[in-house]
Amino acid sequence: MSNTLARPPKKQHNFRRVAILFAGGPAPAANAVISTAAVSFLRNDVEVLGIKHGYSNLMQFAEDRPMELGRDYIMLDHQALSRSRAQQGIMIGTARANPGKQVSHPDHLSDPERSAPLKTVYEALCSLGVDALISIGGDDTLKTANKFKMFQETLPEGSHKIPVVHLPKTIDNDYMGIDFTFGYFTAVDFLANEIRNLLYDAEAGQAYFLVECMGRSAGWLPYGTAIAGEASLVISVEDINGDYVAREEEVDGRVKKIMDVEKVVDRIVKTMLAREAEGKRFGVIILAEGLAELLPPEYLEGIKRDDHGHISITDVSLGRQFAKWISKRYEEKTGRSRKVNGLQLGYEARCSKPHAFDVMLGSQLGVGAYRALVEEGLNGVMVSVSGQLNLHYVAFENLVDPKTLVTVVRYINPMSDFHRLARFLETYIND
C-alpha cells in the first residue's frame, strides 16, 4: 500500500522560472489561486514571478523600458506567500489591458501590426527568463492566453516557446468547461446578505428596491443571489425570450435580441401586485446588469465600450432607469404611488473575504497549474475541477471558436432545475 501521508515525488522538468498574472475583475480567493500555484513551483525548485497588473506592464516593455522588479513584477517567494491563501484582494493586482485586441482571426497573427502587442508580451517574458506562463482570468483572458499560444506557433523554428496554462476566474460563473468558478459562492453569499438587509429596509418603509446585480453575460450570480437572499423576483438575460423580445437584429454576424422594455416592466409590476394580494407591500427585485446589453439602441447612445467591446454598464444605470419606469407603471395601474429605489450591487463582493469552499477550489486550481505543466507536460489548456475537486484539463481549442477566436458563454439553461428553483421560491405569478 502506498504511503498516503507522503508528498508526491518531485518530477523531472526543465522549468527554471515561471510567471503568474491575473487579469480582469477581482474575485474572492484570488490569492488562494496565486499562492498555491506559486508554492507548488517553489517547493520543486522553480522561481516564480508575479506579473503586476495583468498584461498592462508587459505591453509597455521596450529597449528603453525594461521590466523592473517592484514596478512591473515581484518575486513570489515563501516569505511573500506566508499566510496568503485566505487573504482578501489580489497580491499582484489586476488590469484589463488586452494584447490580443486586434486579433480576431488566426490570419491576423501573421500581421506584424495586429500581433505587435502579443510580440511585446512575448519579448517581455523572454527578457525575464520565463519558461512558462500561468494566466488567471475570465473568458477575455482565456482568449488572450489562446492568442498568445497561437502567436508563438508563428515564430521561427527553434525560437524559445513559453507554454501557457489558464485558470478560470469569474464571479459570474459563466465559464464553459468547469462547474463552478472560484469566488462565485463567496460573492453570492455576500450579495445575498445585502439583499436580506434591503428586505428589512423595504418592509419598514413599504417600498421596493430594484437591484442591478453583476452578471453581464449570464444569470448565475443574480440567480444565486436571489435564491440565497430571498428576493421577490430575478430576471436575467436568459429570461428575455418569447414575449419579452421586441425584435432581433444582426450585430457582427450574430443575432442579438432586443428587449421589449414595456413587457418586462409589466411583468415586474405583476409581481408587486401579487405580493400585495399576499399582504406584502414591499420587496426586492434583482435584474442582471447584462440586460443593459439587450436594451433598444436608442437607450445606449453615447455609451462607451471597453477593449473587449463591452458597454460601460455603470453609464447605463439600469437599476435606476427601471426603478423610474416601474414606479410610473405601478401608479398607472393602481392609481397609487409606490417608492421604488434603484441601486447597483456587485463591486462590493469582488474582494470580500473568501469562504472555505472558494479557498479550497482556488487552491486546487493553483496546484493544477503546476500539475498541468510539470506532471502532465501540457500547453494551451485550462485547468478545471469537477466532483469532489477532481482535476482535469480542457484544451483551448475546445473552449474557443477556431475561426473567430471567441469563447462561448455558459448560460443558465432555461427551465433547468437551477433556473426553476428561483421560480419556485419567488412570488408566484401565473404568467
Q: Which pLDDT tens digit goes with each residue over 301-332?
A: 666 666 556 666 666 788 888 999 999 999 99
On the question of pLDDT at 356 being above 90, the answer is: yes
Beta bridge partners of 44: none
Q: Beta-carbon neighbour count of residue 338 at 10 Å?
A: 17
389: exposed, middle or buried (C-beta count within 10 Å: 0-12, 13-18, 19+)? middle
For the chain, percent helix, then strand, then coil, each to nearest 5?
40, 20, 40
Measured CA to CA in angstroms, residue 145 lies from 109, 165, 209, 322, 404 at distances of 13, 8, 40, 38, 15
Cβ contacts of 232 within 8 Å, gap of 6 or more: 271, 275, 283, 284, 285, 426, 427
| Grid coordinates given for 356 | 472555505
Cβ contacts of 79 within 8 Å, gap of 6 or more: none
Q: Which residue has the cell 438575460?
A: 237
Beta bridge partners of 19: 49, 133
Domains defined along the chain, listed by start = 17-181+354-398 (3.40.50.450), 184-350+412-425 (3.40.50.460)
Measured CA to CA in angstroms, residue 325 lies from 78, 208, 213, 328 at distances of 55, 13, 18, 5
Q: Which residue has the cell 453583476?
A: 214
| Grid coordinates given for 174 | 459563466
> Contact, 28 vs 88, CB < 8 A?
yes
Compute the radius of gyration of the chain from its Cα atoms.
Answer: 23
Task: Check residues 131 and 5 and name the one with the higher pLDDT.
Answer: 131
> Contact, 210 vs 319, CB < 8 A?
yes
Q: Which pLDDT tens digit goes with each residue over 141-191?
A: 999 999 999 999 999 999 999 999 999 999 999 999 999 999 999 999 999
Single-letter amino acid, residue 383: V
The whole-chain average pLDDT of the chain stands at 92
pLDDT level of residue 342 (50, 70, 90 thresholds): very high
On the question of pLDDT at 262 being above 80, the answer is: yes
On the question of pLDDT at 252 being above 90, the answer is: no
Task: Check residues 430 and 68 and name the one with the higher pLDDT.
Answer: 68
**29 closest CA partner among 91, 96, 95:** 91
How far apart CA 264 and CA 239 sit, in angstroms, is 10
Q: What mean pLDDT is predicted for residues 257-264?
A: 92
Q: What percent of the chain clears pLDDT 90, i.e. is strictly above it?
A: 81
Q: Which pLDDT tens digit goes with each residue over 368-391?
A: 999 999 999 999 999 999 999 999
How far apart CA 252 and CA 234 sit, in angstroms, is 29
> Contact, 50 vs 34, CB < 8 A?
yes
> Contact, 251 vs 262, CB < 8 A?
no
Q: Beta-carbon neighbour count of residue 116 at 10 Å?
A: 13
CA atoms within 13 A on the CB side of 114: 13
Q: Which pLDDT tens digit goes with each residue over 184-212?
A: 999 999 999 999 999 999 999 999 999 99
Q: Beta-carbon neighbour count of residue 411 at 10 Å?
A: 16
On the question of pLDDT at 1 being above 60, the answer is: no
Q: Which pLDDT tens digit goes with each residue over 7-62?
A: 778 888 889 999 999 999 999 999 999 999 999 999 999 999 999 999 999 999 99
On the question of pLDDT at 79 being above 80, the answer is: yes
Give the burial string for 127-152 (b: 16+ CB within 10 Å, else e). ebebbbbbbbbbbbbbbbbbbbbbbb
Q: Which pLDDT tens digit goes with each residue over 81-127?
A: 999 999 999 999 999 999 999 999 999 999 999 999 999 999 999 99
Say what the pLDDT of residue 121 is: 98
Say what the pLDDT of residue 308 is: 55
pLDDT level of residue 68 (50, 70, 90 thresholds): very high
> Contact, 93 vs 155, CB < 8 A?
no
pLDDT level of residue 358 (50, 70, 90 thresholds): very high
Say what the pLDDT of residue 315 is: 67
